[in-house]
Amino acid sequence: MAGNGIPRRLLVLMGIVFVDMIGVLMILPLLPYYATDFNASGTEVGLLTSIFAAAQVLSAPIWGRLSDRLGRRPIILFGLIGAAVGYLFFGFADALWMLFATRLFQGVGAGTIGVIQAYVSDSVEAKDRAKALGWLTAAASAGVMLGPIIGSFFSEQFGRSAPGLFAAALCIANLVFALRLLPESSAGPSGQRRSLLRAMGEVLTHPAAPANWMVWVYSIGMMAFMAMNALMGLYLMEVFSITELQIGWFYTYVGGLSVVMRAALLGPILDRIGEVRAMQVGTTCMAVGLLAAPLVDHVALFLAVVALIPIGTAMFFPASTSILSQRSPKGEVGQMLGVQQSFRGIAGIAGPAWAGVAYDHLSKGAPFVIGAMVMAVAVLATLRVATADGEAPESNKAA
């Protein structure tokens, strides 16, 4: 890492992400339970995730482009405001439509994730970028670990409105923290950029271009991951009789694994095998974990095989995002990371939607098996990313 101000900026950003993810995970595990109280089906539970993704599809590339022009900081602050509004809807929800409104506002706020990643890209040299993104996601994983426990506690002790209201209060406090301590990154306006529509269109028309291929690799993997995540709470509730008060411990377990992987192990792994190999190992772990999950009939075995998923995501997502930032056109890092998040949103719409239908009409384990098949495609896609870290093969250099 270079630059005297970079460690402090990353530390501040990690604090913001940590607190924000506590709020997100306070309410996410509770959604299936609240939704089923309003007579929601498995398909509707899946759609709660899909509407979140739809909001990201629309907002992420716009925020990314605006951040290239106006700076990263104001867009990050806007995302916190959107999240706070979503939590208030959750706190006062007395009908299913209010849960959908919650997810809509949260999706708009979460559309700024590409801007946060671009902030890291501005502040960290390419050789350290995947590690820095790993630290950032380790902070997020720590929030994932603590949020569900806090949410379950507030729900039990203070009633069902308490998690949403407390999450909104956290988000407002986070906004004040960011206003005071988060400076603008080093990025500024530079050169002529493609239009947003052209950048998105070229991902479709020229998928083999290095940056565009990374968008596809990331999105395929994210579709499988989001499909599993949308139905996990419902699966645990109906297959293993996990209750509303117990579900938080599962997310704490997964979050703890993610923290260890991203904060302590990812750096040495990247130093040893590089970003491209880390992607390949990560996607393989995810595929195996998804395939094995519905084959076990005891919760302890389920926890053991599901561990492969956070281990895999810890390698796959930071490495793929780092490679994309390095291969993005100059002056378009924020825009391209926003485009990535937009395609991630499309994957997040499709994944939970088909997972909900498969859960209702095929079997409870079907979303995991289909997700493993999707991850197998992601594994194959990573095999043609590069012959060595940062070096695309000839077939990948076409525009």
Task: Report pLDDT digits (tens) over 305-361.
Answer: 999 999 999 899 999 998 998 888 877 888 888 888 888 878 878 888 888 899 989
pLDDT score of 3 more than 70 = no
| Residue 216 φ then ψ, to 5° | -70, -45
Task: Report pLDDT digits (tens) over 103-145.
Answer: 888 888 877 888 888 888 887 777 788 888 888 888 887 887 7
CA distances for 288 relative to 214, 282, 364, 369, angstroms: 22, 10, 18, 10
Which of the given ranges, 177-191, 236-250, 261-275, has the highest pLDDT on average?
A: 261-275
| Residue 388 φ then ψ, to 5° | -150, 160
* Average pLDDT over the chain, rounded to an integer: 83
Q: Is residue 96 part of a domain?
A: yes
State what percent of residues in the chain have pLDDT above 70.
92
Q: pLDDT-derived band of residue 43, with 50, 70 and 90 as boundaries?
A: confident
197/278 Cα distance (integer angstroms): 32
| Predicted pLDDT at 188 | 53
pTM: 0.75
Q: Is residue 42 part of a domain?
A: yes
262/138 Cα distance (integer angstroms): 5
The number of folded domains in the chain is: 1
Task: Report pLDDT digits (tens) over 49-76.
Answer: 778 777 878 888 888 888 888 888 889 8
pLDDT score of 393 more than 60 = no
Q: Is residue 1 part of a domain?
A: no
Give the list of residues 6+ apart from residue 140 with CB closer than 8 angstroms, or none: 17, 18, 20, 21
Full domain range(s) for residue 50: 6-184+194-396
Q: pLDDT-derived band of residue 269, with 50, 70 and 90 as boundaries?
A: very high
245, 258, 239: which is closest to 363 by C-alpha? 239
pLDDT score of 398 more than 70 = no
Q: Is residue 189 part of a domain?
A: no
Task: Report pLDDT digits (tens) over 175-200.
Answer: 898 888 888 876 555 556 677 788 88
Which of the given ranges, 27-41, 319-333, 368-382, has the highest pLDDT on average?
A: 368-382
CA distances for 153 relative to 2, 76, 372, angstroms: 42, 29, 34
Q: Is residue 80 part of a domain?
A: yes
Q: Can you give the CATH number for the domain in which 293 is found?
A: 1.20.1250.20
| Predicted pLDDT at 29 | 77
Q: pLDDT-derived band of residue 6, with 50, 70 and 90 as boundaries?
A: very low
Q: pLDDT-derived band of residue 287, with 50, 70 and 90 as boundaries?
A: very high
Tokens of 40: 């929601």
| Predicted pLDDT at 191 | 54
Q: Is residue 20 part of a domain?
A: yes
Tokens of 363: 């079997």
